[in-house]
C-alpha cells in the first residue's frame, strides 16, 4: 500500500458514510435505552484545593470538543466560530469564522489553526486570518493535527491527508481499503518525534509525515463479535504519551500501551469503554461502558485499583493532573480521584450540562468544556 492509493468511487464513499452514520445512531440508541440511573453522589471530605480561575461562554457545542493548547493559548470552536483564548486569563486573542458549522475540534501549532466543517471543508487560519480552504471527500470528526508546517486530516474512512499549512497544497494521501464500517468518533492523529501516529481501526500505524508511507504498524486490540458493529474497535483519541510509551483505548475492546520508539506492543487488556484514557508514568486509568474506573500499571497492564462510585454517570475521557486523575460527568460535575488508590479527592461544579470530550491540562490549569459551550479553567487554590 502506498500513499497514493486510488480513491474509491464517490458513490461508494457516500454509501459508506451513510452506513456509518446509521450505525452511529444505533450505537447511541443502544447506549441510552434502559440505562440504569446514575449513582447518587455521596458526601466526602475534600482533600484538594482547586478554584475556578475563569469561565468563557463559547456557544453550544455539537461535537465532543477537546481544546488544543499551544504556547499558553487554548483553541476552541463552536458553531462556525473558531477562537483563541489566553490560558492564564481567558482573554480572547482572536476570533474567526469557518463559514459553516465546525465538525471537530481545532488543531494548531501556535501560529496556524485548522478546522474541518460539516461540509467536509478544511479551513486554515494564520493567527485568525483565513489562509485557504480545501474540500475533502470524507466526513471528518477528528481534530486536524498541525505540525511541521503541515496540516494532517483524518477522515471517518480512516484516510489521512497532508496539506501544506501555508497554501493548502495536497502533499500526500494515505488510504487503505479496510472494514466496511468505521466509528464516527474522534480517532488518533498524533506526533511522535519524526513520526505521525494514526489509528487505523484497532491498529496503531506510524507514517512518515513527509511522504505518507508506513514505518510500522501494531494491533492494539483483537476485536471479537458476530457482526461488524460488535467488531468495531477503532482507537480513540487523544492518546496518552509518556516518554516513548503511548497508551490508548480501542472502542469497546481494549486498553493498550506500546513503545512507539521501537514499534512494539507492551500490553493489551480486553475491556469495554467508549472514552479516552488518562495516564502518567506509573499508570493508565479509564472508565468502562458502565463508568467503572480501572487503573492499570503502565509497564505491565496489571490492575492496580478499581472505583465503582461513579457508575452510570456518563463520564468523559480522563486526564492526569499531578497526583490525580480527572473525569467530567453528564451532570456537569468534575471529579478528582487519587491516582494512587482511586479515592475521591475533590468534586467541582460547572454549569450542570454534560462535560464533553476530554478535559485538558495546560501547565497548572485544568480546562473543561460542557455541552452548552461553557469553557472552565480551574487551578490549585
Rg (CA), the chain: 20
Look at the chain and report how many structural domains it folds into: 1
Quick check: 8 pLDDT over 50?
no
User: Within a domain: residue 189?
Assistant: yes
Average pLDDT over residues 95-118: 97
* Predicted local confidence at residue 226, as pLDDT: 66
Average pLDDT over residues 42-48: 96
The pLDDT confidence band at residue 62, using thresholds 50, 70 and 90, is confident
168 grid coordinates:
493548502
User: Within a domain: residue 87?
Assistant: yes
User: Within a domain: residue 1?
Assistant: no
Enumerate residues 6+ apart whose C-beta is below 8 A from 34.
none
User: Within a domain: residue 158?
Assistant: yes
Do the beta carbons of residue 204 and residue 266 sit within 8 Å? no
Exposure of 235 in the CB half-sphere (CA atoms within 13 A): 29
* Predicted local confidence at residue 232, as pLDDT: 83
What gap in Å lies between CA 225 and CA 241, rounded to an integer?
Answer: 30
User: Within a domain: residue 255?
Assistant: yes
Range of lowest pLDDT (26-40, 42-56, 72-86, 205-219) = 26-40
Quick check: 235 pLDDT over 70?
yes
For the domain that residue 134 is a member of, what is the CATH number? Answer: 2.130.10.10
Range of lowest pLDDT (172-176, 245-249, 258-262, 334-338) = 172-176
Range of lowest pLDDT (45-54, 56-65, 239-248) = 56-65
353 grid coordinates:
450540562
Helix (H) or strand (E) holding 70: strand 68-70
Residue recorded with cell 502518567: 280
pLDDT digits (tens, 9 = 90+) for 294-314: 999 999 999 999 999 999 999
User: Within a domain: residue 190?
Assistant: yes
The pLDDT confidence band at residue 51, using thresholds 50, 70 and 90, is very high
Residue recorded with cell 443502544: 30
Report pTM: 0.90
pLDDT digits (tens, 9 = 90+) for 182-216: 677 899 999 999 999 999 999 999 999 999 999 99
What gap in Å lies between CA 38 and CA 318, rounded to an integer?
Answer: 18
Enumerate residues 6+ apart whose C-beta is below 8 A from 305.
294, 295, 341, 342
| CA distance readout (Å), 75 to 51, 104, 123, 345 | 22, 12, 14, 29
Which residue range(s) make up the domain with 322?
10-223+233-380
Quick check: 32 pLDDT over 80?
no
User: Within a domain: residue 82?
Assistant: yes
Do the beta carbons of residue 26 and residue 20 sit within 8 Å? no
Mean pLDDT of the chain: 90
Helix residue spans in the chain (DSSP H): 10-32
pLDDT digits (tens, 9 = 90+) for 325-334: 999 999 999 9
* Predicted local confidence at residue 19, as pLDDT: 38
| CA distance readout (Å), 173 to 106, 116, 143, 160 | 21, 17, 17, 6
Q: Which letter does DSSP use for residue 62 in this model?
A: S
Angle (CA) 366-371-375 rounded to 5° is: 35
User: Within a domain: residue 34?
Assistant: yes
Quick check: 120 pLDDT over 60?
yes
* Predicted local confidence at residue 4, as pLDDT: 41
Average pLDDT over residues 18-32: 42
Percent of the chain with pLDDT over 90: 84
* Predicted local confidence at residue 178, as pLDDT: 65
* Predicted local confidence at residue 248, as pLDDT: 98
The pLDDT confidence band at residue 225, using thresholds 50, 70 and 90, is low
What gap in Å lies between CA 233 and CA 236, rounded to an integer?
Answer: 9
**Which residues face 347 on adjacent strands?**
335
Quick check: 15 pLDDT over 50?
no
What gap in Å lies between CA 320 and CA 184, rounded to an integer?
Answer: 26
What gap in Å lies between CA 24 and CA 212, rounded to an integer?
Answer: 29
pLDDT digits (tens, 9 = 90+) for 338-371: 999 999 999 999 999 999 999 999 999 999 999 9
Helix (H) or strand (E) holding 364: none
Quick check: 47 pLDDT over 80?
yes
* Predicted local confidence at residue 179, as pLDDT: 63
Amino acid at each position: 500500500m502506498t500513499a497514493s492509493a486510488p480513491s474509491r468511487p464517490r458513490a461508494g464513499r457516500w454509501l459508506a458514510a451513510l452506513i456509518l452514520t446509521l450505525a452511529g445512531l444505533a450505537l447511541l440508541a443502544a447506549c441510552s435505552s434502559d440505562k440504569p440511573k446514575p449513582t447518587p453522589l455521596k458526601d466526602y471530605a475534600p482533600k484538594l484545593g482547586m478554584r475556578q480561575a475563569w469561565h468563557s461562554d463559547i456557544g453550544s457545542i455539537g461535537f465532543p470538543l477537546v481544546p488544543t493548547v499551544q504556547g499558553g493559548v487554548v483553541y476552541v470552536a463552536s458553531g462556525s466560530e473558531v477562537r483563541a483564548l489566553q490560558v492564564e486569563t481567558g482573554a480572547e486573542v482572536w476570533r474567526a469564522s469557518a463559514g459553516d458549522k465546525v465538525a471537530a475540534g481545532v488543531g494548531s501549532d501556535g501560529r496556524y489553526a485548522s478546522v474541518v466543517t460539516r461540509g467536509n471543508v478544511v479551513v486554515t487560519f494564520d493567527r485568525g486570518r483565513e489562509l485557504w480552504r480545501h474540500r475533502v471527500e470524507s466526513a471528518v470528526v477528528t481534530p486536524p493535527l498541525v505540525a511541521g508546517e503541515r496540516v494532517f486530516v483524518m477522515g471517518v474512512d480512516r484516510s489521512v491527508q497532508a496539506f501544506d499549512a501555508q497554501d493548502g497544497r495536497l502533499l500526500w494521501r494515505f488510504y487503505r481499503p479496510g472494514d466496511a464500517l468505521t466509528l464516527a468518533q474522534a480517532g488518533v492523529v498524533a506526533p511522535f518525534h519524526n513520526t505521525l501516529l494514526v489509528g487505523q481501526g484497532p491498529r496503531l500505524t506510524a507514517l512518515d509525515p513527509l511522504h505518507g508511507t508506513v514505518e510500522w504498524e501494531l494491533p492494539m486490540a483483537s476485536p471479537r463479535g458476530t457482526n461488524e458493529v460488535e467488531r468495531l474497535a477503532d482507537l480513540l483519541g487523544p492518546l496518552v504519551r509518556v516518554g516513548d510509551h503511548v497508551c490508548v483505548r480501542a472502542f469497546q475492546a481494549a486498553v493498550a500501551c506500546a513503545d512507539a520508539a521501537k514499534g512494539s506492543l507492551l500490553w493489551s487488556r480486553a475491556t469495554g469503554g467508549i472514552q479516552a484514557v488518562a495516564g502518567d508514568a506509573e499508570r493508565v486509568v479509564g472508565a468502562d461502558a458502565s463508568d467503572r474506573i480501572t487503573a492499570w500499571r503502565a509497564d505491565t497492564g496489571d490492575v492496580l485499583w478499581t472505583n465503582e462510585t461513579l457508575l452510570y454517570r456518563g463520564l468523559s475521557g480522563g486526564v492526569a493532573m499531578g497526583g490525580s486523575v480527572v473525569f467530567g460527568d453528564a451532570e456537569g460535575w468534575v471529579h478528582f480521584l487519587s491516582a494512587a488508590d482511586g479515592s475521591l479527592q475533590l468534586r467541582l461544579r460547572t454549569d450542570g450540562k454534560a462535560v464533553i470530550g476530554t478535559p485538558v491540562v495546560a501547565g497548572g490549569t485544568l480546562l473543561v468544556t460542557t455541552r452548552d459551550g461553557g469553557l472552565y479553567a480551574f487551578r490549585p487554590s
